[in-house]
Amino acid sequence: MRLGVLDIGSNTGHLLVVDASVGAAPLPASSFKEPLRLAEHLDDGGAVTPAGIDALAGFVANALEVAEDKGCEDMLPFATSAVRDATNSDEVLRAVEDRTGVAIGVLPGEDEARLTFLAVRRWFGWSSGRLAVFDIGGGSLEIAAGSNEWPDIAWSMPLGAARLAREHLAGDRSDATIRALRKKIRADIARDAGDLLRSGAPDHPVATSKTFRSLARICGAAPSDDGPRVARSLPADVLSDRLPKLAEMSDEELGDLPGVSPSRTHQILPGALVALAVMDIFDLPALEICPWALREGVILERIDAIRRSNGD
């Protein structure tokens, strides 16, 4: 069957159209996305602004049209941190449904981590042993670990790259500000690090999603044009060497780096701070980049449900 997965993230709205079959990997058929930047459409009280609601409703209407044009039998719409944490979340969702007819579900942070872990497990397989999976989004950082298809532990923290850029680095990238943010990030991650570390070092530490992919590309990983099956990694020592220079660069200079989208330049520095904190605190010399992430996890869970309903 042809499915549309509608992902409302903190940075981007993304419709991924896939051909899904029981027992087969989801086959991408089409992609449609727009830079919503919902994490930056928040007022002082943490509510999504009317302009943000308009942008979201407009994107959903356009995505629905694309999904119909591409022959989708069903659409799986979900929102993550930006909508989840907004003080007017219910109002935002009602407005979008009233204008488009699409009822968007909000994924709890733990479910976001759990579904991303499922996608990584299916991509790398059982030979990876105990997996640890890290995902830096626009609004949150997800961590999950385990030896099976579902993680033993999964949690989410408000350490997304867009959130940190907006709340801590807007207009001030002084050494003192960066050092204070570095201290906060590491303290927040370390608070629950023992939940993962008690089981020992993971056999296979993995990172997913755009921020990690951009950082890996900056540090020498192969470009996306080389295809998803090329091995890519983010080495801690290389990123650590590059961090001082990243802190000195303007948004225009950051936008000239390989793998960096112009709309995400302001997120590179906070994303790098989070990535290095993860690798230092969990004593990981590098993270392998997985091309599958949350959207694929949502698709795989739906395929599993179809399999169960068919009695397979």
Q: Judge whether residue 178 has pLDDT over 80.
A: yes
Q: Does CATH number 3.40.50.1390 belong to domain 2-106?
A: no
Question: So where are the chain's domains?
Answer: 2-106, 109-294
Q: What is the mean pLDDT of residues 80-97?
A: 96
* pLDDT for the residue 7: 97
Q: What is the mean pLDDT of residues 56-62?
A: 97
* pLDDT for the residue 200: 87
The reply to whether 2-106 and 109-294 are identical in fold is yes
* pLDDT for the residue 246: 97
In which band, very low, low, confident or very high, does the pLDDT at 306 lie, cut at 50, 70 and 90?
confident
- Please give, one letter per residue, the 3-state secondary structure of the chain: CEEEEEEECCCCEEEEEEECCCCCCCEEEEEEEECCCHHHCECCCCCECHHHHHHHHHHHHHHHHHHHHCCCCEEEEEECHHHHCCCCHHHHHHHHHHHHCCCCEECCHHHHHHHHHHHHHHHHCHHHCCEEEEEECCCCEEEEEECCCCCCEEEEECCCHHHHHHHHCCCCCCHHHHHHHHHHHHHHHHHCCHHHHCCCCCCEEEEEHHHHHHHHHHCCCCCHHHCCCCCCEEEHHHHHHHHHHHHHCCHHHHHCCCCCCHHHHHHHHHHHHHHHHHHHHCCCCEEEEECCCHHHHHHHHHHHHHHHHCCC
Higher pLDDT, 155 or 310: 155
The structure's pTM equals: 0.95
* pLDDT for the residue 41: 87
State in words which class domain 109-294 has: alpha beta
Q: Judge whether residue 312 has pLDDT over 70.
A: no
Q: What is the mean pLDDT of residues 157-176?
A: 94
pLDDT, tens only, 108-130: 999 999 999 999 999 999 999 99
In which band, very low, low, confident or very high, does the pLDDT at 77 lie, cut at 50, 70 and 90?
very high
